[in-house]
């Protein structure tokens, strides 16, 4: 596996050479199992990168090597910061030696084309599958007349609002063009709009109180810990992936949150929790974040951070789960 990784890195560093399409067609016939998938979309933030990385994760789970190709250097750098697996490699589209790749042991070459239209000439006749991610979140009518339908073309309807789901299904059932297959339909998903632990810390400019707590939970709901009338379990025990935002000087609320399954505590006002609370949070692996702002301001910052975040490991796993349900 180390030799394969070094070979791929050499390919990425090499300056791409002009290669005749006919030569590449010959090489693809001789290659052993390299699949080429293109992922494109109708608008930015449609879930194109998440689809690409979830597809890559499926191959990695099967112990197959993947080369992920992006058009943007900043995307490559970000993805390398969240995915570290010897089966996963990345390459900037302009630096990729596609001819040499045909002779590698890579199982999947996946090109995150996004809204770009300039597919490399070397790949035009070699693509095994094109996945078109159609963003349904804006409520506009479905319009595929302007989409260039290619061979082995699949459409993934993503971010479907609940109120539109039955309409989308009826539209699909009545769709006359049977040459295009439907990869799946994915509803708007609250989990995908959540925040990773590090995204919460960044959004609040917060400080982790006890770094010995190694858990870094993913959060899809935030509850305000104030003067509630319900029992602790009735209020704080309602959701699986939740964090509680409360003042640092409320050990009663903090303790109730910890004992009822809260995954993370956000303490406002920069008031340090008591030693007992720190000990109990450590015991139940509940990380705590201290912020200078008020509870109201913290909730406002978290609301702004929700939705359309870049891919992270939790969102990749969740999106793959949703794909597998289709």
Instruction: Write down the domain spans for the chain.
Output: 2-189+310-324, 195-305
- 2-189+310-324 CATH pick, 3.30.2450, 3.40.50, 2.60.120, 3.40.630: 3.40.50
The pTM of the full predicted model, rounded to 2 decimals, is 0.82
Residue 76 host element (H or E): helix 73-82
pLDDT of residue 104 exceeding 80, the answer is no
Mean pLDDT confidence for 207-227: 90
Running DSSP on this structure, what letter comes out for residue 35? E
Average pLDDT over residues 188-195: 92
The angle formed by the CA atoms of residues 242, 247 and 249, to the nearest 5 degrees, is 130
Lowest mean pLDDT among 4-13, 62-71, 122-131, 238-247: 4-13
Between CA 45 and CA 40 the distance in angstroms is: 11
Q: Classify residue 102 by its DSSP letter.
A: T
Q: What percent of the chain has pLDDT over 90?
A: 55
- Number of Cβ within a 10 Å radius of residue 236: 22
Helices and strands (DSSP H and E) totals, the chain: 12, 12
- Average pLDDT over every residue of 255-265: 91
Of 84-88, 238-242, 314-318, the least confident: 238-242
CA atoms of 51 and 56, how far apart (whole Å): 9
Tell me which of 151-155, 176-180, 307-311 is least confident.
176-180
The predicted pLDDT at position 21 comes to 35
The structure tokens 């963003």 sit at 135
| Mean per-residue pLDDT, 277-289 | 96
Domain 195-305 in this protein, CATH class: alpha beta
């Amino acid at each position: 596996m180390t030799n394969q990784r070094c070979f791929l890195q050499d390919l990425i560093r090499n300056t791409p050479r002009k290669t005749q399409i006919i030569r590449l067609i010959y090489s693809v016939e001789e290659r052993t199992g390299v699949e080429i998938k293109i992922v494109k979309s109708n608008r930015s933030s449609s879930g194109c990168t998440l689809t690409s990385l979830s597809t890559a994760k499926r191959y990695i789970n099967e112990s197959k090597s993947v080369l992920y190709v992006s058009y943007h250097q900043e995307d490559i750098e970000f993805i390398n910061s969240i995915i570290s697996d010897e089966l996963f490699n990345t390459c900037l589209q302009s630096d990729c030696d596609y001819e040499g790749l045909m002779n590698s042991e890579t199982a999947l070459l996946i090109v995150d084309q996004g809204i770009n239209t300039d597919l490399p000439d070397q790949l035009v006749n070699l693509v095994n599958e094109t996945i078109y991610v159609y963003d349904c979140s804006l409520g506009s009518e479905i319009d595929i007349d302007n989409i260039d339908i290619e061979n082995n073309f699949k459409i993934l309807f993503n971010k479907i609002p609940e109120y539109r789901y039955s309409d989308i299904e009826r539209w699909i059932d009545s769709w006359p063009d049977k040459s295009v297959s439907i990869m799946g339909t994915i509803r708007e998903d609250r989990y995908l709009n959540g925040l990773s632990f590090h995204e919460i810390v960044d959004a609040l400019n917060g400080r982790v109180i006890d770094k010995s707590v190694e858990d870094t939970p993913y959060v899809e709901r935030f509850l305000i810990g104030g003067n509630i009338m319900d029992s602790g379990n009735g209020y704080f025990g309602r959701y699986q992936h939740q964090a509680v935002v409360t003042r640092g000087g409320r050990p009663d609320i903090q303790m109730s949150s910890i004992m009822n399954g809260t995954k993370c505590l956000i303490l406002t006002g920069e008031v340090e929790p008591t030693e007992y609370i720190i000990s109990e949070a450590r015991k139940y692996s509940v990380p705590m974040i201290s912020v200078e702002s008020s509870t109201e301001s913290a909730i406002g910052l978290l609301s702004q951070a929700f939705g359309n975040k870049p891919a992270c490991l939790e969102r990749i796993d969740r999106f793959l789960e949703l794909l597998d349900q289709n």
